[in-house]
Chains A and B, each alone.
Chain A
Amino acid sequence: SQKIEQNSEALNIQEGKTATLTCNYTNYSPAYLQWYRQDPGRGPVFLLLIRENEKEKRKERLKVTFDTTLKQSLFHITASQPADSATYLCALAMDSSYKLIFGSGTRLLVRP
Chain B
Amino acid sequence: DTAVSQTPKYLVTQMGNDKSIKCEQNLGHDTMYWYKQDSKKFLKIMFSYNNKELIINETVPNRFSPKSPDKAHLNLHINSLELGDSAVYFCASSHGAGSSYEQYFGPGTRLTVT
Contacts and interface: CB of A to CB of B under 8 A. Distances in A.
A41 B108 contact: yes
A32 B99 contact: yes
B98 interface: yes
B69 to A, nearest CB: 21
B41, B44, B100, most chain A CB atoms within 10 A: B41
B102 interface: yes
B105 A43 contact: yes
Given A87-B41, A89-B43, A102-B43, A42 B107 contact: yes
B64 interface: no
Interface residues of A, number: 25
Nearest to B102: A46
B102 A34 contact: yes
Contacts of B40: 104
A43 B102 contact: no
Interface string A86-98: 0101010111011
Contacts of B56: 98-99
Contacts of A91: 43
A102 B44 contact: yes
Interface in B74-114: 90, 92, 97-100, 102-108
A89 B92 CA distance: 15
B8 to A, nearest CB: 14
A51 B97 CA distance: 16
A79 interface: no
A31 B41 contact: no
A100 B104 contact: no
Contacts of A104: 40-42
